[in-house]
Amino acid sequence: MTKKILLSGVKPTGRPHVGNYFGAMKQFVDAQTVGHHENIFMIADYHGLNFIQNKEEMSQLTLDLALDYLAIGIDPAHSVIFKQSDVSAHTELAWIFDTIVTMPYLMRAHAFKDAEAKDKEISVGTFNYPVLMAADILLYDTDIVPVGQDQKQHIEYARDIALKFNHIFCGGNEFGKGGVFKLPEPLIFEHVATVPGTDGRKMSKSYNNTIPLFATREEITKSVMGIVTDSGGPESGGIPQNVYAIHKLFRNESDIKSLYEQNKGKYKILKETLIEDIDTFIKPLRERRAELAKDPAYVLEVLKQGSEAANKKASEKLLEVKKAIGVL
């Protein structure tokens, strides 16, 4: 039986946080453990280029993300880890998609509308972001894409683009049957779809409200002490909602309920317990990462092998695409 393909990616734009981990990266490792899929994990450096435009920073952040992947337990013996820029089929396929995707369609994307609302000057790369992401996914016949809620629309775009391509070039029907591209499904777990940050908004690098995934004890303490505690209005029943929402990630439900029941209004104790719980969870990851960081040659070798494996798959698909559009 052929295995289903599970693929995801993260941009190398800074240290990952516990929102990235519980929302997406944990699912990468869990999938690998179950072993039912062929796993492909990408470092989305060409997506990251929209944000990081400095060569030292880019190469450091890329290596860092490779280390992060390995440190959380992604094992190159069971998963392909590669860098997007090493597989030029991604940008080539994105161009082909560009010719069938319309501007009004891309203007409906949340990320574009958000950037526009902030009155930011938007690069063509940012505008086109969903097209490159569709290419990332569709090149590998991906069945499942584990991501957080904020990426759901991008998976829908990938499906739409696959359908449109199949329809135009392969005579596929509107259900996408009989075409070059498979339709991917997102994998999003509701309870971690949007992990809140220390201020109660979505945890995000851009909001400065994160708990870094490989944080030191001091950093954990600083982040937790910075969690905005509501003043315990009547509806909160003495339970600091923001602290509770983060704590839930690190303890099972019954445990946490009784902890918060017993310590109503005792914010200091609750935060201290949270620091302890987060540190217990992060410490082994932090240590594994520090160990791996001693051997950058190994990390580069993993990326080299990953790029060979990814290129092999992607170039086969690109051949199919080129035949379908009539340039081969």
Binding site for ligand TRP (CB under 6 A): 7-11, 44, 47, 133, 136-137, 145, 147, 151, 154
Compute the least distance from the CB of residue 68 to ligand ADP, in Å. 11
User: Pick from 93, 191, 132: which is nearest to 9 by CA?
Assistant: 132
Quick one: which of 19, 130, 212, 306 contacts ligand ADP (CB under 6 A)? 19
Distance, CA of 23 to chain centre? 8
C-alpha dist (Å) from residue 70 to 25, 81, 274, 282, 303: 11, 9, 26, 14, 11
Compute the least distance from the CB of residue 219 to ligand TRP, in Å. 22
Q: Write each residue from 21 to 60 as x if it is in contact with ligand ADP (CB under 6 A), else as -, in one continuous string.
A: --xx------------------------------------
Task: Classify 185 as helix, strand or coil.
Answer: strand
Is 92 a binding residue for ligand ADP by CB under 6 A? The answer is no
Compute the least distance from the CB of residue 287 to ligand TRP, in Å. 26
Is 85 a binding residue for ligand ADP by CB under 6 A? The answer is no
Tell me the residue number closest to ligand ADP, measured at CB. 23
Compute the least distance from the CB of residue 290 to ligand ADP, in Å. 22
Is 144 a binding residue for ligand ADP by CB under 6 A? The answer is no
Compute the least distance from the CB of residue 133 to ligand TRP, in Å. 4
Pair 204, 152: CB distance under 8 Å: no
User: Pick from 285, 259, 289: which is nearest to 274 by CA?
Assistant: 259
Span from 17-25, 129-137, 266-274, 317-325 in contact with ligand ADP (CB under 6 A): 17-25
Tokens 């992604």 correspond to: 74
Pair 178, 170: CB distance under 8 Å: yes
Residues 187-226 that bind ligand ADP (CB under 6 A): 192, 194-195, 202-206
In a 10 Å sphere around its CB, with 0-12 CB exposed, 13-18 middle and 19+ buried, how is residue 104 labelled? exposed
CB of 148 or CB of 184, closer to ligand ADP? 148
The item of ligand ADP, ligand TRP, none sharing an interface with residue 133, based on CB under 5 to 8 Å by kind, is ligand TRP
Pair 184, 159: CB distance under 8 Å: yes
Compute the least distance from the CB of residue 192 to ligand ADP, in Å. 6
Quick one: which of 5, 6, 11, 130 contacts ligand ADP (CB under 6 A)? 11
The item of ligand TRP, ligand ADP, none sharing an interface with residue 64, based on CB under 5 to 8 Å by kind, is none
Tokens 């997406």 correspond to: 24
The item of ligand ADP, ligand TRP, none sharing an interface with residue 204, based on CB under 5 to 8 Å by kind, is ligand ADP
Contacts of 188 (CB under 8 A, 6+ apart): 146, 147, 148, 149, 152
Residues 257-316 that bind ligand ADP (CB under 6 A): none
Q: What angle (nearest 5°) sits at the alpha carbon of residue 284, between those of residues 39 and 247?
A: 90
Quick one: which of 5, 81, 97, 148 contacts ligand ADP (CB under 6 A)? 148
User: Phi/psi of residue 201, each to 5°?
Assistant: -80, 175
Task: Classify 112 as helix, strand or coil.
Answer: helix
The item of ligand TRP, ligand ADP, none sharing an interface with residue 162, based on CB under 5 to 8 Å by kind, is none
C-alpha dist (Å) from residue 215 to 90, 221, 257, 284: 33, 9, 26, 11
Q: Residues interacting with ligand ADP, by CB under 6 A?
A: 10-11, 19-20, 23-24, 147-148, 150-151, 192, 194-195, 202-206
